């Protein structure tokens, strides 16, 4: 089989709101612990960061889900916290507790001393992985690169781990807004450089994970998250090797702010499961495509329940292009592989009817 | 000083959207660990549930914040999980980890075996506390009674504690919806009885805490939370001793569903800080009053920052009645008392300008 030219991939066509034969589908965290072959690779690597830092291993786990399911995109296997790790904060993972930094940003001096990211050297392992994965994919499906948003990175860097009640980072933005803006501006520059380097290395689309945007009030979201999403999107390479490079912005819990998110300049918005696809589509019109939004908890149930929900989501979005099916958040380790398979297969089965 | 007739209290007038001299204010969890006198009472009681179960102690801590701040309402000191505790699940608190049940609902048999709540006997201690607090308040400010929503109670009862990723309860609603509805219908009956008993004992307003409604997709929220909020509100005593008893529904994370929440029959909606008061008011019109919505994280900063945010919130709501100032969620133990004082004082200082 000859690989189609990249622009013909239905994932990229759907992001451009061009006609497709069926709705494309991928899953956030599709290369993850629910796959036995992933767990085996992780065990061989010894720890999570070795998996991220070794291009051959990152490539291997990136490709694993594509061997099982008819997915329409691959996503670089990496972590959203590679930038702060590269900046010297010392990322490590505590079993069952998520990411931790050895040297979180605990005062103004630490924030002001943060050095500039030198992506090509600091994160060479990521760019090597992107190049290797592109080569191995050989045009079968597009490769998505990604980064955490400036706000989301700042949350982890200031809190020292998962933000919990956001006590430190919210004190920073409300009590020392100038210092917060200094940090966020620095991170926006780093995220822009990092995503552009991924694009130059071969990423055919990029996604910005604004995991914690939804924890903010509307004006705080505008000032401390949205503004820097816009800054990043505005600085991205949008054409590479003669093809458009679409940008997906995913603010978890951002359903109230879809119009503002559509105005960032992104090509598509990721949405979580709290908002209806149809309602979201009516609000953003033809300004952006939408990606989402099955509640990943549904993957725990039964294939019949998963299939019914996929059909409901497709009907909610309605006829026409501009939708990439996905979960509303990452797939969790306890999901049976055959349930993930049922999700992907249901999209292939039910979606052609919406594209005639 | 002679106590005004209850209908003249600005808290009740604002909930009825009648003219007030200034915006009324209270704080969710105003009787809480940020107060040294609360910590002392809790220490004397030995543990949290003894504080709840001893009417004299519950009364004492209910009144504590009123001695410090010019609050416009008292809220019964109790816990949202008294109903499941009374139904035999065995509530206890693990330091730093929140509530736990000794006997969570782990299977269909446990759900079907759940007995009917006999409020007057099972929760006599709550009703005794309500009567005692009303007597001690002597008409100074109205007393708010409360309960968890059916959905929120079900989350804790099925998960066995704070719901985390909602794995068990979401599997229940998606995999066994009939069983979930059986549980929720049972709980809706219990919540209705419980709130009506509080109203008969003297509660002058009631609030339903739908703490976990925001974790659901729109159709799941409609089916498993909203429907039972409506059932409870429809079953409440709305007149007692010749005065109206307003009902406040607070779905945390429910900003997308304000119109549906306004249609439950509630007099007012509690809102968290993610949605702007002005935007919420435009959406609900004159159907309901609004209560909220300062991000409690702001209370950690400085009085000047707190005052500026209060002024901003008042301006966002705009002129006229129908707003009760509050936090978007409970005040946390680490808040300095003088910051809580600054919040309450700022409402008294800035709000009269919006009621001329």
Q: What is the band of B7 on the pLDDT scale with cuts at 50, 70, 90?
A: low
Chain B's closest residue to A215, CA to CA, is B274
As given in the structure block, the two tokens for residue B240 are 């007692």
Are B217 and A300 in contact (CB < 8 Å)? no
Handedness of CA A46, A52, A54, A60 (dihedral sign): positive
pLDDT in tens, A101-140: 999 999 999 999 999 999 999 999 999 999 999 999 999 9
Q: A328 and A273 in contact (C-beta within 8 Å)?
A: yes
Q: Which of B45, B222, B97, B80 minimizes the C-alpha distance to B154?
A: B80
Q: B15 and B267 in contact (C-beta within 8 Å)?
A: yes
**By the CB < 8 Å criterion, does A274 face chain B?**
yes
Q: How far apart are the first and last CA of chain A?
A: 25
Enclosing H/E stretch for A268 = strand A268-270
- How remote is the C-alpha of A5 from its chain's centroid? 24
Query: Testing the interface with A: which of B178, B216, B217 to mutate, by most A Cβ within 10 A?
Result: B217
**By the CB < 8 Å criterion, does B166 face chain A?**
yes
Which chain B residues are closer than 8 Å to A175 by Cβ? 300-302, 305
Are B279 and A218 in contact (CB < 8 Å)? yes
Are A255 and B253 in contact (CB < 8 Å)? no
pLDDT in tens, A177-221: 999 999 999 999 999 999 999 999 999 999 999 999 999 999 999
Provide the chain A residues 10-49 that lie in CB contact (below 8 A) with chain B. Answer: none
**CA-based nearest distance B311→chain A, Å:** 14
Are B256 and A273 in contact (CB < 8 Å)? no
pLDDT in tens, B43-91: 999 989 999 999 999 999 999 999 999 999 999 999 999 999 999 999 9
What is the average per-residue pLDDT within A66-92? Answer: 97
- pLDDT > 80? residue A6: no
Which chain A residues are closer than 8 Å to B300 by Cβ? 167, 170-171, 174-175
Which chain B residues are closer than 8 Å to A278 by Cβ? none
Q: What is the band of A312 on the pLDDT scale with cuts at 50, 70, 90?
A: very high
Which chain B residues are closer than 8 Å to A279 by Cβ? 218
pLDDT given at position A8: 85
Q: Which of A166, A214, A301 sits opposite B171 (nearest CB)?
A: A301
Which residue out of A13, A29, A134, A281 is catalytically annotated? Answer: A29
Q: B230 and B248 in contact (C-beta within 8 Å)?
A: no
Q: B351 and B10 in contact (C-beta within 8 Å)?
A: no
pLDDT given at position B94: 83
- pLDDT > 70? residue B182: yes
**By the CB < 8 Å criterion, does A217 face chain B?**
yes
**CA-based nearest distance A59→chain B, Å:** 29
Residue with tokens 């297969």: A345
Is A283 catalytic? The answer is no
Q: Give, as one character, the DSSP assignment of residue A161.
A: B
Are B214 and A274 in contact (CB < 8 Å)? yes
pLDDT given at position A94: 83
Chain B's closest residue to A312, CA to CA, is B219
- pLDDT > 70? residue A1: no
What is the number of alpha carbons within 13 Å of residue A242 lying toward its C-beta?
3
Residue pairs between chains A and B whose CB atoms are closer than 8 Å: 93
pLDDT given at position B6: 45
**By the CB < 8 Å criterion, does B300 face chain A?**
yes
What is the number of alpha carbons within 13 Å of residue B16 lying toward its C-beta?
18
Instruction: Give the CA distances from residue B128 to residues B54, B119, B197, B291, in Å, rounded to whole numbers and listed in that order.
Output: 9, 12, 11, 27
Which chain B residues are closer than 8 Å to A167 by Cβ? 297, 300, 332, 334
* DSSP state letters, A276-297: -HHHHHHHHTTSSEEEEEE-GG
Q: What is the band of B1 on the pLDDT scale with cuts at 50, 70, 90?
A: very low
Residues of B with catalytic function: 29, 33, 42, 79, 156
What is the average per-residue pLDDT within A57-71? Answer: 98
Provide the chain B residues 239-268 that lie in CB contact (below 8 A) with chain A. Answer: 253, 255-256
Are A253 and B274 in contact (CB < 8 Å)? yes
**By the CB < 8 Å criterion, does B331 face chain A?**
no
**CA-based nearest distance A5→chain B, Å:** 37
Q: Which of A165, A218, A334 sits opposite B275 (nearest CB)?
A: A218
Contacts of A2 (CB under 8 A, 6+ apart): none
pLDDT given at position A193: 98
Q: Which of A275, A295, A301 sits opposite B256 (nearest CB)?
A: A275
pLDDT given at position B2: 43
Q: Which of B175, B279, B305 sits opposite A301 (nearest CB)?
A: B175
> A143-148 and A74-75 as β-strands: parallel, antiparallel, unpaired?
parallel
Q: What is the band of A325 on the pLDDT scale with cuts at 50, 70, 90?
A: very high
What is the number of alpha carbons within 13 Å of residue B103 lying toward its C-beta?
12
Give CA–CA dist B16/B25, Å, rounded: 15
Average pLDDT along chain B: 96
**By the CB < 8 Å criterion, does B332 face chain A?**
yes
Q: A66 and A141 in contact (C-beta within 8 Å)?
A: yes
pLDDT given at position A97: 80
Strand partners, A208: A147, A249
- How remote is the C-alpha of A54 from its chain's centroid? 20
Q: Give, as one character, the DSSP assignment of residue A32.
A: S
Are A217 and B165 in contact (CB < 8 Å)? no
As given in the structure block, the two tokens for residue B271 are 């809102």
Chain A's closest residue to B304, CA to CA, is A175
pLDDT given at position B96: 76
Contacts of A178 (CB under 8 A, 6+ apart): none
- Estimate the crossing angle of helix A124-137 against helix A55-68, to 10 degrees: 40
Chain B's closest residue to A253, CA to CA, is B253
Q: Which of A312, A233, A307 minimizes the C-alpha distance to A273?
A: A312
ipTM (interface predicted TM): 0.95
pLDDT given at position A136: 98
Query: Testing the interface with A: which of B260, B279, B297 to mutate, by most A Cβ within 10 A?
Result: B297
Average pLDDT along chain A: 96
Burial of A278 (0-12, 13-18, 19+ CB in 10 A): middle
Among A43-47, A168-172, B209-213, B320-324, the range scoring the smallest mean pLDDT is A43-47
Are B298 and A174 in contact (CB < 8 Å)? yes
Q: B89 and B101 in contact (C-beta within 8 Å)?
A: yes
Q: Which of A275, A302, A305 sits opposite B218 (nearest CB)?
A: A275
Q: Which of A167, A255, A275 sits opposite B300 (nearest CB)?
A: A167
Beta-carbon neighbour count of residue B96 at 10 Å?
5
Chain A's closest residue to B215, CA to CA, is A274
**CA-based nearest distance A130→chain B, Å:** 32
Which chain A residues are closer than 8 Å to B280 by Cβ? none
- pLDDT > 50? residue B30: yes
> 3-state SS of A92-118?
EEECCCEEEECCCCCCHHHHHCCCCCC
pLDDT in tens, A253-283: 999 999 999 999 999 999 999 999 999 999 9
**CA-based nearest distance B268→chain A, Å:** 20
Give CA–CA dist A237/A221, Å, rounded: 25
pLDDT in tens, B222-277: 999 999 999 999 999 999 999 999 999 999 999 999 999 999 999 999 999 999 99
- pLDDT > 50? residue B5: no
Q: Which of B165, B174, B297 sits opposite A305 (nearest CB)?
A: B174
What is the average per-residue pLDDT within B135-160? Answer: 98
> 3-state SS of chain B?
CCCCCHHHCHHHHHHCCCCCCCCCECCCCCCCCCCHHHHHHHHHHCCHHHHHHCHHHHHHHHHHHHHHCCCCCEECCCCCCHHHHHHHHCEEEECCCEEEECCCCCCHHHHHCCCCCCHHHHCHHHHHHHHHHHHHHCCCCCEEEEEECHHHHHHHHHHCECCCCCHHHHHHHHHCHHHHHHHHHHHHHHHHHHHHHHHHHCCCEEEEEECCHHHCCHHHHHHHHHHHHHHHHHCCCCEECCEECCEEEEECCCHHHHHHHHCCCCCEEECCCCCCHHHHHHHHCCCCEEEEEECHHHHHCCHHHHHHHHHHHHHHHCCCCCEEEEECCCCCCCCCHHHHHHHHHHHHHHHHHHHC
């Amino acid at each position: 089989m000859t690989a189609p030219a990249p622009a013909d991939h239905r994932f990229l066509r759907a992001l451009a709101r061009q006609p497709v034969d069926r709705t494309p589908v991928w899953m956030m965290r599709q290369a993850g612990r629910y796959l036995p072959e992933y767990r085996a690779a992780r065990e061989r690597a010894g720890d999570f960061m070795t998996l991220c830092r070794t291009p051959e291993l990152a490539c291997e786990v990136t490709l694993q889900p594509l061997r099982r399911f008819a997915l329409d995109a691959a996503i670089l296997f990496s972590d959203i916290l590679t930038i702060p790790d590269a900046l010297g904060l010392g990322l490590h993972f505590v079993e069952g507790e998520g990411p931790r930094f050895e040297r979180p940003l605990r005062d103004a001096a630490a924030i002001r001393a943060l050095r500039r990211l030198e992506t090509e050297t600091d994160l060479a392992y990521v760019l090597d992985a992107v190049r290797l994965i592109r080569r191995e994919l050989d045009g079968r499906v597009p490769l998505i690169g990604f980064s955490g948003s400036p706000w989301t990175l700042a949350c982890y860097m200031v809190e020292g781990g998962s933000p919990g009640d956001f006590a430190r980072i919210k004190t920073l933005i409300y009590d020392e807004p100038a210092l917060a803006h200094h940090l966020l501006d620095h991170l926006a520059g780093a995220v822009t450089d990092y995503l552009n380097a991924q694009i130059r290395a071969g990423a055919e689309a990029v996604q910005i994970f604004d995991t914690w945007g939804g924890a903010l009030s509307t004006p705080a979201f505008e000032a401390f998250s949205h503004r820097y999403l816009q800054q990043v999107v505005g600085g991205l390479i949008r054409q590479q090797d003669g093809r458009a490079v679409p940008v997906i912005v995913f603010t978890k819990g951002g359903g109230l702010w879809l119009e503002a998110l559509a105005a960032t300049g992104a090509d598509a918005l990721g949405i979580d499961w709290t908002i209806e696809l149809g309602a979201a589509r009516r609000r953003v019109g033809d300004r952006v495509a939408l990606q989402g939004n099955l509640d990943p908890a549904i993957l725990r149930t039964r294939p019949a329940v998963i299939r019914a929900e996929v059909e409901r989501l497709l009907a909610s979005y309605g006829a026409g292009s501009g939708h990439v099916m996905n979960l509303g958040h990452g797939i969790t380790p306890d999901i049976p592989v055959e349930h993930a398979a049922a999700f992907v297969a249901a999209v292939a089965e039910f979606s052609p009817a919406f594209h005639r």
